[in-house]
């Protein structure tokens, strides 16, 4: 008799998902799927609203990455108000947004590493679940836990200074920004008492990276072989090929490093990217049109970014990038767990960028907004911590939004997450009579590497309905339950 | 002017999901109330959800009141002491629970403030920036309850009057 194992909710992932693993009567894994219930209500929610409200409204999508949505929407509306596509703002406008963005990156990556991932590394994937969590980290490695919390706090304070309040941040507006940075705010971030200053954050970011490198050195086989499979990779890159998390052109490379999307203008993304609907998941599966559904899927996020860019434009992160790239002889890195490595290099880069920006006098300027000839449609792209984030709006003659389309990072990573789940399920569960907690956690470790934000992907902040469907071999529904 | 010890009233939830915005609405009312009833020592904060850094935020406080919308079966509102020992090691979301925040605070800073959860009953959760009628009524009741407690000094000893 075949078995179906269901893991739900996927722990330490934003929102709730469901993993279903089908096992035949010989103990072979026949199919594994990550199910996510996508609720497309948010696009409808913003329709009819004045366009200038969008950067504030979209923050309600997600309590984890409101700043990314805020900035992606603002970038799309820059186009609509005729302020260009990301690089046409005043120096103060652009650099304040960048500071906000790198603050968001820093705190989001710190949360993921210290809160969600480090327990697996410190206590082992099959470690005691009672301590394999941040409370266990706080008890066993108190200095590390405090670092994680204070790095989060530093990033949050940067966001507060640039975006305004934690809820309803209003910093970015169409065509620019609504405030500059005061000298007092700047000096506090640069010279504040330890640990809340930029120098200490760089030191701690380097320390977190060194921690992972040591872990990797001691566990190379595991890290290299866990959910390792070839894929395409996509991200924004700066015009000179540098890592740029705020603005650039869209590039994709294949598993061998060949460019398959050639630094295109993202305003034209619909010419290159399509979203596929599959019957068993409400979350769409994006792919590059030219390569089709089977071959055109790709990863986004830290792993993908360090595969697409040519270099990192800050010295410490660049040095680490070179060490990292040498692991794969300069070829794209397709090792799932190296995503953590890449994420920590980006954390270091974000800390360096924060310090560089804080030393830039343009942040103190007063020329905040520009406007030009209004357009009807605009696309805003940004590299959110989890990957490339698309916001696309069209307005009517009354300045109301009449169309909105959002593609979030977790949606881009839908196919690779499913492949990762399948890879790990086959590796650890095939032929086993007993499914241990450690095996189940291994599946979740694969998903967590992508840091998916299901609430964001499903556009259902607050609480997401969870539906459980039992089907027989002919796909007849045996039972269905839904919780709220 | 009434002077309190270090108090934090911290609302959380998503104002874009109707009654999930009760925590934020409560903090907004508190800001207005404090502007008319000047007092020191009361700090207000608001966010979409609680997270690990909130352990550090509460570590410097004597008293913390978390304010959240509730889907549970309660009357109008409930006011209960947060028991850190009840913190479940559950990470189903990036967000964490009040008990988890208090527990993490204890583990990291070796102490934690007296903490309460003011749970206000909500009923509608769609994408809409407007509290339901019953949520507004429940908000008023909860607000009156807490401000009366504050004024009477029932939640903590007053430093001076």
Write the pLDDT tens digit of every residue in A26-75: 777 777 777 765 445 677 778 899 999 999 888 777 667 889 999 999 99
Q: Which residues of A touch B105 (CB under 8 A)?
A: none
Best mutation target, A462, A464, A465, to test chain B (most B CBs within 10 A)? A462
Whether residue A462 lies within 8 A of chain B, CB to CB, comes out as: yes
Whether residue B125 lies within 8 A of chain A, CB to CB, comes out as: yes
- pLDDT score of A449: 86
Q: Residues B43, B45, B49, CA angle at the centre, nearest 5°? A: 150
Rounded alpha-carbon distances, angstroms, from residue A9 to A18, A182, A465, A468, B86: 6, 44, 11, 11, 20
8 Å CB contact between A12 and B91: yes
Fold designation for A41-232+309-374+385-395: Cytochrome-c3 Hydrogenase; chain B (1.10.645)
- pLDDT score of A459: 39
- Which of A6-10, A224-228, A355-359 is predicted most confidently? A355-359
pLDDT in tens, A108-132: 999 889 888 888 888 888 888 778 8
Range of the domain at B13: 2-152
Closest approach of A457 to chain B, Cα-based (Å): 14
pLDDT in tens, B58-82: 998 999 999 999 988 899 999 999 9
Does the residue B159 lie in any domain? no
Tell the residue number behind the tokens 């019953």, with chain if given: B134
Is A291 a residue whose pLDDT tops 80? yes
Whether residue A64 lies within 8 A of chain B, CB to CB, comes out as: yes
Tell the residue number behind the tokens 């500071």, with chain if given: A99
Does the residue B157 lie in any domain? no
Is A91 a residue whose pLDDT tops 80? yes
- pLDDT score of B53: 86
Comparing CA positions, the residue from A293, A309, A284 lying closest to residue A233 is A309
Name the pLDDT band for A379 (thresholds 50, 70, 90): very high
Is A483 a residue whose pLDDT tops 60? no
**Alpha carbon distance A12, A451 (integer Å):** 9
Closest approach of A190 to chain B, Cα-based (Å): 20
Q: Which residues of A touch B48 (CB under 8 A)?
A: 63, 66, 166-167, 461
Which CATH number covers residue B117? 3.40.50.1450
Name the pLDDT band for A11 (thresholds 50, 70, 90): very low
Q: Which residues of B touch A53 (CB under 8 A)?
A: none
Which range, of A166-180, A307-321, B77-91, B136-150, averages the lowest pLDDT?
B77-91
Does the residue B54 lie in any domain? yes
Is the CB of A167 less than 8 angstroms away from the CB of B71? no
Is A246 a residue whose pLDDT tops 70? yes
**Alpha carbon distance A13, B95 (integer Å):** 9
Per-residue pLDDT averaged across A368-383, rounded?
95
Structure tokens at B31: 């800001």
- pLDDT score of B156: 61
Within 133-152 of A, beta carbons closer than 8 Å to B belong to: 133-135, 138-139, 142, 145-146, 148-150, 152
Per-residue pLDDT averaged across A184-194, rounded?
95
- pLDDT score of B93: 46
- Which of A64-68, A163-167, A209-213 is predicted most confidently? A209-213
User: To the nearest whole number, what is the mean pLDDT of chain A?
Assistant: 86
- pLDDT score of A481: 36
pLDDT in tens, A406-436: 888 888 998 998 899 889 888 887 777 666 7
Name the pLDDT band for A473 (thresholds 50, 70, 90): low
* Domains held by chain B: number: 1
**Alpha carbon distance A269, A287 (integer Å):** 11
Closest approach of B94 to chain A, Cα-based (Å): 5
Structure-model confidence comparison of residues A314 and A112, the more confident one: A314
Does the residue B161 lie in any domain? no
8 Å CB contact between A260 and A304: no
Name the pLDDT band for A83 (thresholds 50, 70, 90): very high
Comparing CA positions, the residue from B18, B54, B95 lying closest to residue A66 is B95
| ipTM of predicted assembly, 2 dp | 0.81
Query: How large a percentage of chain A has pLDDT more than 70?
Result: 86
Is A349 a residue whose pLDDT tops 70? yes
Q: Which residues of B touch A60 (CB under 8 A)?
A: 14-17, 127
- pLDDT score of A344: 97
- The domain ranges of chain A are 3-37+413-483, 41-232+309-374+385-395
Closest in A66, A135, A463 to B107, CB measured: A135
Which range, of A93-107, A420-434, A455-469, B76-90, averages the lowest pLDDT?
A455-469
Is the CB of A168 less than 8 angstroms away from the CB of B15? yes
Structure-model confidence comparison of residues A11 and B99, the more confident one: B99
A306 CB neighbour count, 10 Å cutoff: 27
Q: Long-range contact list for A315-324, CB < 8 A, 24+ apart? A: A315/A352, A316/A202, A316/A206, A316/A348, A316/A349, A316/A352, A317/A243, A317/A345, A317/A346, A317/A348, A317/A349, A317/A352, A320/A209, A320/A345, A320/A348, A321/A345
Q: Which residues of A touch B93 (CB under 8 A)?
A: 13-16, 455
């Amino acid at each position: 008799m075949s078995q179906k194992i269901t893991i739900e909710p996927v722990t330490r992932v934003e929102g709730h998902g469901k993993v279903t693993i089908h096992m035949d009567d010989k103990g072979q894994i026949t199919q594994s799927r990550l199910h996510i219930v996508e609720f497309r209500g948010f696009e409808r929610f913003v329709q009819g609203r004045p366009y200038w409200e969008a950067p504030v409204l979209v923050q309600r999508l997600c309590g984890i990455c409101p700043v990314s949505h805020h900035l992606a929407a603002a970038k799309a509306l820059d186009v609509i108000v005729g302020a260009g596509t990301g690089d046409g703002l005043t120096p103060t406008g652009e650099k304040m947004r960048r500071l906000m963005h790198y603050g968001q990156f820093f705190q989001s990556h710190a949360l993921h590493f210290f809160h969600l991932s480090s327990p697996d590394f410190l206590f082992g994937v099959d470690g005691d679940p009672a301590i394999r969590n941040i409370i266990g980290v706080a008890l066993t490695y108190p200095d590390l836990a405090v670092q994680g919390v204070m790095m989060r706090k530093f990033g949050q304070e940067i966001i507060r200074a640039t975006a305004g309040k934690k809820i309803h941040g209003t910093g970015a507006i169409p065509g620019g920004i609504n405030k500059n940075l005061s000298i007092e705010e700047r000096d506090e971030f640069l010279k504040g008492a330890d640990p809340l200053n930029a120098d200490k954050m760089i030191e701690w970011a380097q320390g977190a990276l060194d921690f992972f490198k040591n872990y990797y050195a001691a566990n190379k086989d595991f890290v290299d072989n866990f959910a390792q499979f070839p894929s395409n990779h996509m991200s924004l890159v700066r015009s000179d090929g540098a890592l740029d998390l705020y603005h650039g052109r869209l590039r994709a490379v294949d598993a061998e490093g060949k460019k398959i999307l050639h630094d295109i203008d993202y305003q034209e993304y619909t010419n290159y990217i399509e979203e596929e609907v599959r019957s068993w998941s409400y979350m769409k599966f994006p792919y590059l049109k030219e390569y089709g559904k089977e071959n055109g899927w790709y990863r986004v996020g830290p792993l993908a970014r360090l595969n697409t860019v040519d270099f990192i434009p800050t010295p410490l992160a660049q040095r680490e990038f070179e060490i990292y790239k040498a692991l794969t002889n300069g070829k794209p890195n397709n090792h799932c767990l190296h995503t953590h490595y890449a994420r920590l290099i980006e954390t270091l880069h974000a800390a360096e960028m924060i310090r560089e920006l804080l030393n830039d006098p343009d942040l103190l300027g007063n020329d905040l907004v520009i406007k030009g000839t209004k357009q009807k449609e605009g696309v805003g792209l940004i590299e959110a911590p989890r990957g490339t984030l698309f916001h696309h709006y069209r307005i009517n003659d009354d300045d109301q939004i009449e169309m909105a389309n959002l593609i979030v990072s977790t949606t881009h990573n839908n196919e690779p997450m499913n492949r990762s789940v399948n890879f790990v399920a086959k590796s650890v569960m095939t032929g086993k009579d007993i499914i241990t907690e450690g095996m189940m956690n291994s599946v979740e470790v694969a998903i967590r590497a992508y840091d998916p934000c299901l609430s964001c992907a499903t556009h259902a902040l607050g609480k997401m309905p969870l539906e459980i469907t039992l089907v027989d071999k002919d796909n007849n529904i045996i039972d269905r339950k839904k919780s709220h | 002017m009434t002077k309190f010890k270090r108090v934090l009233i911290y609302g959380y939830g998503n104002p874009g999901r109707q009654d999930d915005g009760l925590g934020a609405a409560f903090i907004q009312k508190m800001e207005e109330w404090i502007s008319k009833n000047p007092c020191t020592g009361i700090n207000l904060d608001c966010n979409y959800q609680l997270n690990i850094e909130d352990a550090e935020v509460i570590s410097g406080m004597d008293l913390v009141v978390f304010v959240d919308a509730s889907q549970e079966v309660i009357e109008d509102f409930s006011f209960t002491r947060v028991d850190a020992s009840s913190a479940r090691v559950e990470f189903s979301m990036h967000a964490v629970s009040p008990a988890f925040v208090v527990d993490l605070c204890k583990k990291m800073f070796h102490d934690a403030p007296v903490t309460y959860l003011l749970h206000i009953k909500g009923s509608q959760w769609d994408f809409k920036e407007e509290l339901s009628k019953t949520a507004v009524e429940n908000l008023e009741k909860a607000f009156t309850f807490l401000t009366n407690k504050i004024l009477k000094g029932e939640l903590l000893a007053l430093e001076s009057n």
